[in-house]
Amino acid sequence: MKDAKNETITDSEWEVMRAIWTMGQTTSRELIDAMNQLQGWSDSTTKTLLHRLINKGAVAQSGTSRPFVFKPIVGEKESMAAAATDLFDHMCAMRAGSTIAGVIKTRELSQADIAELQAILTEKAKTAPEQVQCNCLPGHHMCEEVEEHGQ
Ligand SMILES: [Zn+2]
């Protein structure tokens, strides 16, 4: 996974970012307590992850004396969007639709989410092609064959 600045963010680092985004800003003590409560992580685990996120430019330290305050530099929405784009970029174009369908099936969505999705789909249906072309290895037809057998 990558953040909005195209840096790879690990699963553990994502959990720390989620906490920081939710809190808006945090001291290392508050963050350590939060991650201990949420994940059962030790002080040193959270401190290590926080410093990696600072080095990756995802979090900034402000203030000149203790306790330092830490704030997210990358936004939650843009980071989620970048991570989702990254995931789909690694996937056969033919598979994107069924993958999205699977995500929609298994996730809880609000009435507003569903209304938005329906509006987007109605709009997309106006110009959608009959079939999305595979963008894997040219000259190989594995993706299409699997698709035809009802995968
Ligand atoms: Zn393919």
For 111-127, the pLDDT digits (tens) are 999 999 999 999 999 99
Kindly state whether residues 15 and 74 are assigned to the same domain. yes
Kindly state whether residues 16 and 74 are assigned to the same domain. yes
Q: How confident is the model at residue 67 (pLDDT cuts 50, 70, 90)?
A: confident
Angle made by CA atoms 76, 68, 77, in degrees to the nearest 5: 5
Peptide bond into 67 cis (omega under 30): yes
| Share of residues in the chain with pLDDT > 70 (%) | 88
Q: Which two tokens stand for residue 119?
A: 């509006």
Kindly state whether residues 5 and 64 are assigned to the same domain. yes
Which residues constitute the domain of residue 73? 1-90
Ligand 1 centroid from CA 94, angstroms: 6
pLDDT score for 151: 44
Ligand 1 centroid from CA 85, angstroms: 17
Q: Which two tokens stand for residue 43?
A: 């002080």
Compute the radius of gyration of the chain from its Cα atoms. Answer: 20
Ligand 1 centroid from CA 6, angstroms: 25
Ligand 1 centroid from CA 68, angstroms: 49
Q: Tell me the mean pLDDT in the region 79-89.
A: 91
The number of distinct structural domains making up the chain is: 2
Residue 34 and residue 22: Cα distance in Å, rounded? 11
Q: Tell me the mean pLDDT in the region 42-66.
A: 93
Look at the alpha carbons of 38, 107, 71, 49 in this order and tell me if their dihedral is positive or negative.
Answer: positive
pLDDT score for 66: 86
Kindly state whether residues 81 and 107 are assigned to the same domain. no
Kindly state whether residues 8 and 36 are assigned to the same domain. yes
Ligand 1 centroid from CA 150, angstroms: 15
The H-assigned helical ranges of the chain are 11-23, 28-39, 43-55, 76-89, 96-106, 111-125, 142-148
Location of structure tokens 């507003």: 112
pLDDT score for 137: 85
Ligand 1 centroid from CA 135, angstroms: 5
Ligand 1 centroid from CA 120, angstroms: 25
Kindly state whether residues 137 and 115 are assigned to the same domain. yes
